[in-house]
Amino acid sequence: MSDVHFKFMSFGFRLRDFFLSPKSILKEAGIKPGFHVLDYGCGPGSYSIVSAGLVGTTGKVYALDIHPLAIQRVQNIASKKRLANIEAICSDCATGLPDNSVDVVLLYDTFHELSDPDGVLKELARVLKPESTLSFSDHHMKKREVISKVTHQGLFRLSRKGKRTYSFLKLDEERAGSV
């Protein structure tokens, strides 16, 4: 994605956030104080910044994106707002996070663009704690497609469909092997 396209997309997200608060969407993710959250494909950081407030000073938010401008923007906003609980990661798949270290992964409006969606899902399952949540939304995909693409590897199962997001639970290794 070019820098110009990223800036145009960021403007569109600001408009979206004006009409539909990121906090209202994040309610469905069940983020609590002290949680570690990975915002995978964070873009300009709308969900990362709000998540930082939800997890509080005892929690941590990892804002990951492939685009350097996204990382720069999240770092700038976190610095201006003095949010010490946000760490930006520039990557196209690998998070660099330890196994079983994340309570919630946000995967919003990104999946349809991934070059290796199965690889990304494996990485997200690796970093999520057992029985933790992958909060998923992608308006470019239909319900049946979302469910089949996220669950076909046996790493996740749909736990509920909210108004704006799907919540998938990471299956533990024993249960994933029997799917």
pLDDT digit string, tens, across residues 126-135: 999 998 999 9
- Contact call for residues 127 and 100 (beta carbons, < 8 A): yes
* Average confidence score pLDDT of the chain: 89
Under the banding of pLDDT at 50, 70 and 90, the label for residue 179 is: very low
| Cβ atoms 69, 7 nearer than 8 A | yes
| pLDDT band, residue 92 (cuts 50/70/90) | confident
Q: Report the distance separating Cα 117 and Cα 131, nearest Å.
A: 21
What single letter denotes the amino acid at residue 159?
A: S
pLDDT band at 23 (very low <50, low <70, confident <90, very high): confident
Cα 88 to Cα 49, 104, 151, 179, distances in angstroms: 11, 16, 28, 34
Supply the pLDDT for residue 7. 62
Q: What is the CATH number of the domain that holds 94?
A: 3.40.50.150
Indicate whether 6 pLDDT > 80: no
Q: How far is CA 78 from the centre of its chain?
A: 17
pLDDT exceeds 60 at position 17: no
**Given pLDDT bands bounded at 50, 70 and 90, which one contains residue 178?**
very low
Whether residue 149 has pLDDT greater than 90: yes
Is residue 176 pLDDT above 80, yes or no?
no
Alpha-carbon distance of 86 to 68, in angstroms, equals: 16
The predicted pLDDT at position 177 comes to: 46
> pLDDT digits over 62-83, tens only?
999 998 998 999 999 999 999 9
Domain count, the chain: 1
Q: What is the mean pLDDT of residues 107-134?
A: 95
Q: In this structure, what DSSP letter does residue 41 have?
A: T
For the entire predicted model, the pTM comes to: 0.88
Q: Which range marks the domain in which residue 111 is found?
A: 3-177
- Please answer whether residues 29 and 106 qualify as being in contact, where contact means their C-beta atoms are separated by less than 8 angstroms: yes
Nearest to 136 by CA among 29, 63, 52: 29
Residues with Cβ within 8 Å of residue 142, at least 6 apart in sequence: none
